[in-house]
Amino acid sequence: MEYKITQGANDVSTIDGRKVTGFAAIIGNIDDGHDKIYNGAFRKTIKENGGRVKHFWQHDIMMPPVANILELKEVKREDMPERLTADHPEITGGLKVVREYLDTPRADEILTGIKAGALAEMSIGYDPVKFDYEEDKELGGMVRNLREIRLWDTSDVNFGMNSLTVSSSKLIQLESMVSSLLSPDALKEGRVLSKRNLERLRDALQTLNDVLLAAEPPADEDAGKILTPTDTIMQKLAKAELELQLILA
């Protein structure tokens, strides 16, 4: 599962009692993770599984939801708040979430924080289903175009899990994949790589190793939980992953 943050997501002006409207994802802009969500990306997942999407605090799936989702809808640019379109003039829409907070101490605390403006960020937990890559010359790198997303949850968050945040299991999986490509046995079996690609793979593997060393290794009971290394390290990971996608395509 991947995570993506929307800053200033909650529309405080529309709070009605325990009901809050927010925008858990922005469509059309290239985010810090070099991802771009396209219009229609949420359409299938909402239709097929929208009723099972939960609203959590900090993506904590081990705890009960903090709110009941009343409306989950992909909207166009004209339906987005002006404050968001002003900050992101390139956006073409967003994921609108209207939820009603439960009558629980934890939900009360979160709702109070939202009303006070202390909690202004939301995040989505999702799997990329259909996507492709293209070079963005202005950005100076590759962009992942997210054409279809499988949505699992929306969450209120403190600092927002960065769009590059990944689980420890994903890091290990990527490292294992690269290691297998570079293993003597794999190369002997006829998996021939050009000198340039071999160097790029080695660079990617080194980057992944740097990330794993920078993050505190989780205890056995914490395996699979979300790691949050610095943004600089995660940017390096994103670059390495894009390199792998290009080579393996």
- Domain ranges, ordered by start, for the chain: 2-157, 168-248
What integer pLDDT is reported at residue 7 of this predicted model? 80
pLDDT at 194 (0 to 100): 61
**How far out from the chain centre does Cα 206 lie?**
23
pLDDT along the chain (249 residues), means of 10: 82 85 92 90 96 95 95 94 82 94 97 91 93 86 93 88 39 54 55 61 63 52 47 56 60
Residue 58 confidence (pLDDT): 92
Helices 195-214 and 168-182: crossing angle in degrees, nearest 10, is: 150
Dihedral in degrees, nearest 10, Cα atoms 85, 89, 93, 96: -30
Cα–Cα distance for residue pair 158/147, rounded to 1 Å: 28
Q: What is the pTM of this model?
A: 0.65
69's enclosing H/E stretch is strand 67-76
Output DSSP code: residue 13: G
Q: Identify the pLDDT of residue 208.
A: 61
